[in-house]
Chains A and B, each alone.
Chain A
Amino acid sequence: MLEIKNLHANVDGREILKGLDLTLPTGEVHAIMGPNGSGKSTLAYVLAGKEDYEVTEGSITWNGKDLLDLDPSARAATGVFLAFQYPMEIPGVATMTFLRSAVNAVRKARGEDELSTPDFMRLVKEKAKGLKIDAEMLRRPLNVGFSGGEKKRNEILQMALLEPSLCVLDETDSGLDIDALRIVADGVNALRSKERSMLVITHYQRLLDYIVPDKVHVLSKGRVARSGGPELALELEKTGYAEFGGEATAA
């Protein structure tokens, strides 16, 4: 279970999160919505442990463990995964090489043996298939020249390979056309399980047609302003974020 209590966080000396409370039980999928600037991405980065995102007050515990005590790679080892809104490009490093480095780093930290090359190849092939990622894409340098859809599918592939218990998806739907959205959503849904919690951050309701959340939280000015069931997302689709400090019309 993820428990966030009275979380305050600064970026460049400006307070973005202002006393955020959130509870995400194990096995549930919660959506985080909200207008631009409400702190959605900041929350994602704070969870993953990005430097320069300074927590000034409050706590984050994951299954009783204090997440704020851990550096980003230790968080990955303990099961936290952030699917980036803008995945980074690393020229010259084949996607396959990167995946293998990541999987083995995490396995090692969890006290598991590194996978042999054939075992790893088999695993990647199996996971990549559902995401329509072919061998050619895996040979290309990580995210370099990837289309928006390819980048996001690659994020979900990493999520599948690293077997996290807490998945944070930061605007995974941004920049996707409807076909790509469906592939990515199917990939995410395939990873839903009783042991895995997910935080799906999105600006639009559209994604939630495909990934149906157990709960929806609306952020406003760095706090959870309202929580409800999936119907809350539909309501927002009609009324927009005006009452939460956003522009009058949602897209």
Chain B
Amino acid sequence: MAAVQETVERVKEIDVDQYKYGFFTDIESVKAPKGLNEDIVRFISAKKHEPEWLLKWRLEAFRRWQTMQEPEWANVHYPKIDFQDLYYYSAPKSTEGPKSLAEVDPELLATYAKLGIPLKEQEVLAGVKGAPRVAVDAVFDSVSVVTTFKEELSKAGVIFCSISEAVKNHPDLVQKYLGSVVPATDNFYATLNSAVFSDGSFVYVPEGVRCPMELSTYFRINAEQTGQFERTLIIADKGSYVSYLEGCTAPMRDENQLHAAVVELVALEDAEIKYSTVQNWYPGDKNGKGGIYNFVTKRGDCRGDRSKISWTQVETGSAITWKYPSCILRGNGSRGEFYSIAISNGYQQVDSGTKMIHLGKDTSSRIISKGIAAGRSNNTYRGLVSAHRKATNARNFTVCDSLLIGDKCGAHTVPYIEAKNASATFEHEATTSKISDDQLFYCLSRGLSEEEAVALIVNGFVRDVLQQLPMEFMAETQKLISISLEGSVG
């Protein structure tokens, strides 16, 4: 299999702690001073020329946050974060207004080049003719610097821009939906995000429109000690469809970086949102030093009847992942899906899963979770499936498989199931397996190397989920999976 070969070659090029994307781009940043207080919140809001209502919203969130405690129930362990020792705003200087690609800082473009971005954003960003039609809203540090294909999208009536722009140009939409899925008071990190969110993506697909292309955002953490607080809001109006992909890499560094994003999805009647994530942030070095803390709140609201929201995630990076993309199945006949591949190696800690909240009648959900633990990592699936009293005929099907590589890692499954309506049908299947020595030997005796054998077996294990990814990302993801497992055998 060519992809396997290529993977192995790429794996050989890197050391365990030579994270491929661990370089640092020297672009002068405009920073707010370290620490967090009301003045910083005001500074961020003022910097972005925000309307009064948004500043008020932020300040309320901040005041609320001060009364909240960091959650400790997740199966992850890390030193206490000093929230006063972080920067809460940093924007590349060159963003004072690039109107076209030619005006974009060449350093920035060079960074994308170094990333070896698979998604063809490279070409798109460089404006190469015939580049695939993947629209990119690139987030460099905290501010969106370049948004392409805006015109073509606007022809279809689709709004795809940074959330700051949306605040300026579509304030009614933002005010109506912001915080309507993840309230400002939701949880410690979401509330922090509400107070200090820097930027992120905004998508609105009007009634009856099928978005003409995949939308994709590339997040990247750059400036030192800068927490990232993206805010993403996607609204699919009645009968519309949109597919959205985020992919992430981060540079190498020693300090732990905090990432607390919030993603809100709203699907109205008969609308469908497909949200895919490929997450490859710096996981820390081979001794477990450094790495990103990824504390994310992602939630979709199937607000309209027969609406559908589907989350697909491939999680390979971050030192700590705390993430539960969820669906609120409010509309009658609505459907939620969660497909997940979570890989942990080295000293990574993953506590991830989903929540399917069945509120409407005849709602259905499906969860396919594949956790792979290697090295000394810990991988926990935590999921909630609940049916409200009125959720007649709610159906859920859950498959939760764990694969262990080696004998120093851990896999845990924590499913919560609550049915308050007797007509609910919930099915839960869970397995835990190991790559057996016999399987490995079988592959080796056919000429495969250990790396090739593990890559093959793991890619087979996650196949059901891989198939949910947009085609162009499947092959790349297979490679990413293999790279993530480097050093896990032998």
Contact = CB atoms under 8 A, between A and B. Distances in A.
Nearest to A107: B447
B256 to A, nearest CB: 35
B445 interface: yes
A228 interface: no
B462 A102 contact: no
A55 B5 CA distance: 32
Contacts of A106: 446-447
Interface in A96-140: 97-98, 100-102, 104-106, 108-109, 114
Contacts of B446: 76, 98, 101-102, 105-106, 158, 162
A114 B159 CA distance: 47
Interface string B454-490: 0011011111100000000000000000000000000
B460 A93 contact: yes
A104 B1 contact: yes
A49 B445 contact: yes
Interface residues of B, number: 26
B243 to A, nearest CB: 24
Point out which of A75, A82, A89, A102 has the most chain B C-beta atoms below 10 A from its C-beta: A102
A141 B463 CA distance: 11
B449 interface: yes
B134 interface: no
B439 interface: yes
A89 to B, nearest CB: 8
**Majority SS at the chain B contact face:** helix
Contact of B452 (A88, A89, A90, A101): A101
A81 B446 CA distance: 7
B444 A73 contact: yes
Interface in B200-233: none
Nearest to A101: B1
Interface in A3-32: none
A95 to B, nearest CB: 11
B1 A97 contact: yes
Interface in B429-446: 436-439, 441-446
Nearest to B461: A92
A101 B4 contact: yes
Contacts of B102: none
A114 B2 CA distance: 9
Interface of A: 48-52, 71-73, 75-77, 81-82, 84, 87-93, 97-98, 100-102, 104-106, 108-109, 114, 141-142, 158, 162
Interface of B: 1-2, 4-5, 436-439, 441-449, 452, 456-457, 459-464
Closest 9 CB pairs between A and B?
A: A92-B460, A93-B460, A76-B447, A106-B447, A102-B446, A88-B442, A72-B444, A92-B463, A105-B447
7 contacts: A48-B445, A52-B437, A90-B460, A104-B5, A105-B447, A114-B5, A142-B460
Given A76-B446, A93-B457, A102-B443, 20 more contacts: A48-B441, A48-B445, A50-B445, A51-B437, A72-B444, A73-B447, A76-B447, A90-B460, A92-B464, A93-B456, A97-B1, A98-B456, A100-B1, A101-B448, A101-B452, A101-B456, A104-B5, A105-B448, A105-B452, A141-B460
